Amino acid sequence: MYHIARLLTGVAVLSAALSATVCSAQDEASGEKRWAELRNRFLPPALNRDGRSPLSSTQRASIIAHFKEVAQELAQFQIEFPHAPQSKLAAVEEARGLLRAGFLGDAESQKAGISLVERLRLDPEIPDETRFQLEAVAEQVLVRTVAKTQGEAVAARENSARYLMSRYPNQSGGYELLLSVVDTSDDDFKIREAVREVLGSNAPFAAKAKATILQERLALVGKSLADVANTAHGRNGFFEKYRSERVLLYTWATWSRPSVEFAQKLRAAQFGGARLVGFNLDEDVAAAKALAESERLPGDQYFDQASVRGRLALLLKLDRTGRVYFTNAAGVFIDVAAERGKSAQRGQEEGRP
């Protein structure tokens, strides 16, 4: 009887284990299916807009509602499938959705998103890079909320960068954010200080590479535009005629509408007699030439289908639209840190050397 009882007990235990395994497999399958459905909803809904105009209040409300709804569904997923492999990722995506809604102006979502990020950043099971990304977005949302002026925004972004650098010293993003903040300023000294700080730190390679590019751009000051251009293309090239002229060199591309609009504003401005020269960053030269003609972009235009990878673009460190360089009457660079919105004021100074 004892052996029979042991046998029956073993059968019951095996049956229970098998049942649990089957249920677990069913739960996992259900979780996989639900996760696949949710993943398709992470992106915002498609809107019928040209990408140039700001969001209307109706469009903004629609996107906010979408992100809040997805965040609620992700929270529910964590309740229904707490042991699913995607449970941690669901929490991360929930935080991202709430922060996106908060970035668009929903105060309730912003508060909930930042609170969730505070909890997730202490979770050792979440990769360091993911926690950094969440905190970086949270910092961006906070800057948008607290900064009332452009100056306050710049200061807040720099503070965010330094916080991220200290908390995630092995992540490149914090250092790169600091370099981006100073790169959009027109303060050469501040740029040089940030470059020295990053290069002298234990920052990752990607951050130091970006700092090196900034350092090399600043090193253009005192060099001749024509000489640098001739290094790329030989003597008597496109820029040779500007050897003894004051030049404002600006970058633009068809895919950057703000850069095109900025170029159009230059047409009506006076820059102490400086010649305007556009440096296009498109790979499709034909399309760029057509747009330059139709939009009546001012000054001579330089095109290179190699775009930012072109030899001259690399030598001049023209890696994006919005770059504005000045040369003096001898054709020598005197400013390589002038940005959109600041160049008009700086370039119109009478008697500038």
pLDDT digits (tens, 9 = 90+) for 233-247: 877 678 999 999 999
* The pLDDT of residue 1 is above 90: no
CATH topology of domain 225-347: Glutaredoxin (3.40.30)
* Cα-based distances in Å from 265 to 176, 320, 325, 347: 30, 19, 16, 13
Rounded distance between C-alpha atoms, residue 73 and residue 91, angstroms: 11
pLDDT on residue 42: 80
User: In the prediction, which pLDDT does 232 show?
Assistant: 86
Highest mean pLDDT among 4-8, 17-21, 209-213, 339-343: 209-213
Report pLDDT for 347: 47
pLDDT exceeds cutoff 60 at 344: no
Report the predicted TM-score, pTM, of the whole model to 2 decimal places: 0.77
* Cβ contacts of 288 within 8 Å, gap of 6 or more: 253, 254, 280, 282, 303
pLDDT, mean of residues 95-116: 94
Looking at residue 38, its pLDDT comes to 87
Residue 66: its H or E element: helix 57-80
Beta sheet of 247-252, edge-to-edge order: 300-302, 275-280, 247-252, 323-327, 333-339
The domain segmentation of the chain, as residue ranges, is 147-218, 225-347
Residue 327 has pLDDT above 70, yes or no: yes
Q: Which residue reads 């060099």 in tokens?
A: 223
Mean pLDDT of the chain: 85
CA distance 68 to 70: 5
* Residue 338 phi, psi (nearest 5): -75, 130
Average pLDDT over residues 220-235: 90
Q: Interhelix angle for 205-218 vs 172-183, to 10°?
A: 20
Least confident of 9-13, 35-39, 193-197: 9-13
Question: What's the farthest any 2 CA atoms get from each other in the chain?
Answer: 111
Residue 199 in tokens: 């290069």
In terms of Cα–Cα distance, which of 258, 152, 261, 169 is closest to 207? 169
For the residues 179-189, what does the mean pLDDT come to?
83
Average pLDDT over residues 287-297: 95
Tokens of 330: 């001898």
Q: pLDDT (tens digit, 9 = 90+) per residue, 45-56? A: 766 555 556 788
